[in-house]
Amino acid sequence: MRRRTIYLICTVFALWSCCEEKKVSTDSFTAEGIEIAAGEASPTKAMMDDAALKTVGNKLRVCDVLTDFSGTVSWMSESNPYYINDEIQYNGNPVWDYLSGRKYPWTVDGFHLFFGWLSYDNAMSLTPETFFGNGFSYDASSKVISIPTKEMNTTTDQFDFMYSKVQFVDAADHVAGQPVNLELNHLFTAFKLTLKNTSENPIYLKSVILKGMKNSRSATIAFDAHEPTVTTSNHSSTDVVLYQSADEGGTEFEYIDLEKPLTDYMLMWAQSYAELDGAELEVIYYVYSGGQLSDELTSHIFLNRQNLFRVEQKGIDAGSKYSFQLQFKKSTIDIYINVLPWEYEEYDFDYSRHSISARSGAWKDGVLGFWRYNPLTDLYDISPTNDEWSAKAIRFQTRNEVLKGRFYVEAPYEGSWMIQTSPLSASQYFVITPTSGDIDVDTDNGLCEFTVTVNPDLSPETAQNLYFSVMIYFNGEWHDANSEFNRKNIRLVLDAN
């Protein structure tokens, strides 16, 4: 799916009304009005997508700081360098209207710095002042937005505050007819909770509580560079009840092979990796087994231990959208966290087509597995022994043996897969064919397979252990899918020659 960068559209007429007081030195201006245009680019950071932004009545504050201009403008001064400080409103037309009624022709020289922010969400009847409180302000001299302390939780209005990058335009280099593009960023991140029960027993879910997340803070946004500087402070945490069953004994979830949404998307302050320390999901539930309900069970899932964050020491980014999937298995609860495109098509029954998941039952726990050749069937259908599986180590029985690696992709429906191996010192002793391929869930149930043989030209002096990483390509980028397809961290072992 394409990712969209959202722009504003507004057109300014170059002609001044004959009855309006002359406020500029006209020879310092062109006959062309300033246009702020809307278009598509990549990547998106928008929760409020292009269609939602173009809701009749939505408004944005647009600023243009003009410097080194040889002409004069009556409303400008050394202490007020704003050529434009106006609101624009979408009224259903291809162009946005300036609410002040002023008209802003292009200057023949000088430097323009354009930027802006969402000033009114008509669907929610909210402004930044009504959402954040009276402490929300903009300092024109320093070009800094100040946002007072705001707690984000499940009862908070979902006001998706957006601010633009700074667009620099040299008037002398302006190309006639070329619009100014303002690209909008998002202050918040968003996440959604889903559930998958692949165990044999019904689960009765009582509650899911987010603890330790810094869900209250203040912020400043300084329009001091192309990418504005966002600084947060006054960080604090309160428990956020993401899910609470209406039934005292919990809500029943039987076998669910596809994700089931538990919550709508919720806006949240972004979190650095360090701030995730102590952040957890507390899951309270019961298991129905052997004709009776278990005692109340509690699981604590710590976010900073999840591969998506731990491997690269990264946090939860502003402008990114996350799916937190609780997966109940035979003896454990796991969580799978996916970063999703914000313009994400959801489907009632299988919106997981745009996330990553393995087909359960593919091999053992439905993950990457290896098979040995069976001369009786002429197939690779002999699975490793239980001892090998328990040790998570599959040993080459001879140097001529061929092992077949397989995993099945349930989602995404289309894309590519790739196998990476490590360490490099061991990889040289093995040959992988192929190392990548296409995903087609409609063919062979999303089967992805490859062979592993021993490099005949090399003989190790010590035993070699080969580890695998599964990468999945969709929505324009590669994703680490090892937590889905290789949770056991299976290795192949080649003994010393």
Residue 195 · residue 225 · CB < 8 Å: no
> For residues 327 and 488, what is the distance between their CA atoms, to the nearest angstrom?
16
Band of pLDDT at residue 267, cut at 50, 70 and 90: very high
User: What are φ and ψ of residue 427, in 5° steps?
Assistant: -60, -30
Band of pLDDT at residue 364, cut at 50, 70 and 90: very low
Instruction: Answer yes or no: is pLDDT of 44 > 50.
Output: no
Least-confidence region, from 45-59, 69-83, 288-302, 396-410? 45-59
Residue 327 · residue 335 · CB < 8 Å: yes
Instruction: Answer yes or no: is pLDDT of 340 > 50.
Output: yes
Band of pLDDT at residue 305, cut at 50, 70 and 90: confident
Give residue-wise pLDDT tens across range 439-479: 887 777 788 899 999 999 999 999 999 998 888 887 677 88
Question: Cβ of 142: how many Cβ atoms within 10 Å?
Answer: 12
Q: Higher-confidence residue: 124 or 177?
A: 124
Planar angle of CA 146, 147, 150, nearest 5 degrees: 165
> For residues 77 and 344, what is the distance between their CA atoms, to the nearest angstrom?
46
Q: Higher-confidence residue: 497 or 80?
A: 80
Residue 43 · residue 58 · CB < 8 Å: no
Residue 490 · residue 468 · CB < 8 Å: yes
Instruction: Answer yes or no: is pLDDT of 423 > 70.
Output: yes
Planar angle of CA 409, 332, 202, nearest 5 degrees: 85
Residue 486 · residue 469 · CB < 8 Å: yes
> For residues 3 and 375, what is the distance between their CA atoms, to the nearest angstrom?
50
List alpha helices for 133-251, DSSP H. Answer: none
Amino acid making up residue 214: K
Q: CB-based contacts of 465: which residues, under 8 Å, 6+ apart?
A: 393, 426, 491, 492, 493
Rg (CA), the chain: 29
3-state secondary structure 327-388: EECCCCEEEEEEEECCCCCCCCCCHHHHCCEECCCCCCCCCCEEEEEECCCCEEEECCCHHH
Which residue reads 């040959």 in tokens? 431
> For residues 177 and 167, what is the distance between their CA atoms, to the nearest angstrom?
17
Superfamily of structural domain 369-494: Immunoglobulins (2.60.40.10)
Residue 322 · residue 338 · CB < 8 Å: yes
Q: CB-based contacts of 491: which residues, under 8 Å, 6+ apart?
A: 392, 393, 394, 465, 466, 467, 468
Which residue reads 């005949």 in tokens? 456
> For residues 402 and 75, what is the distance between their CA atoms, to the nearest angstrom?
79
Instruction: Answer yes or no: is pLDDT of 205 > 90.
Output: yes
Residue 88 · residue 8 · CB < 8 Å: yes
> How much is the average pLDDT of 153-161?
92
Planar angle of CA 208, 213, 215, nearest 5 degrees: 105
Supply the mean pLDDT for the chain.
82
Residue 221 · residue 144 · CB < 8 Å: yes
Q: CB-based contacts of 185: which residues, under 8 Å, 6+ apart?
A: 45, 162, 163, 164, 165, 228, 318, 319
> For residues 377 and 359, what is the distance between their CA atoms, to the nearest angstrom?
25
Give residue-wise pLDDT tens across range 378-392: 888 888 887 887 788
pLDDT, position 174: 86
Domain ranges of the chain: 10-124+159-186, 189-351, 369-494
Least-confidence region, from 176-190, 211-225, 267-281? 176-190
% residues pLDDT > 70 (the chain): 81
Least-confidence region, from 30-34, 128-132, 259-263, 348-352? 348-352
> For residues 231 and 146, what is the distance between their CA atoms, to the nearest angstrom?
10
Q: Per CATH, is 189-351 categorized as 3.40.50.10470?
A: no
Least-confidence region, from 69-83, 131-145, 164-178, 217-231? 164-178
> For residues 111 and 79, what is the distance between their CA atoms, to the nearest angstrom?
16
233 conformational bin, left if phi > 0, alpha if psi -120 to 50, beta if neither? beta
Band of pLDDT at residue 359, cut at 50, 70 and 90: low
The pair of three-digit structure tokens given for residue 103, joined into one six-digit string: 């008209």
pLDDT, position 67: 94
> How much is the average pLDDT of 17-32?
50
Distances (CA, A) of 41 to 36, 94, 133: 15, 18, 33
Which residue reads 């593009």 in tokens? 181
Distances (CA, A) of 49 to 7, 46, 221, 268: 10, 5, 22, 18
Give residue-wise pLDDT tens across range 477-488: 788 787 678 767
Which residue reads 């397989």 in tokens? 406
* Three-class secondary structure of residue 427 per DSSP: helix
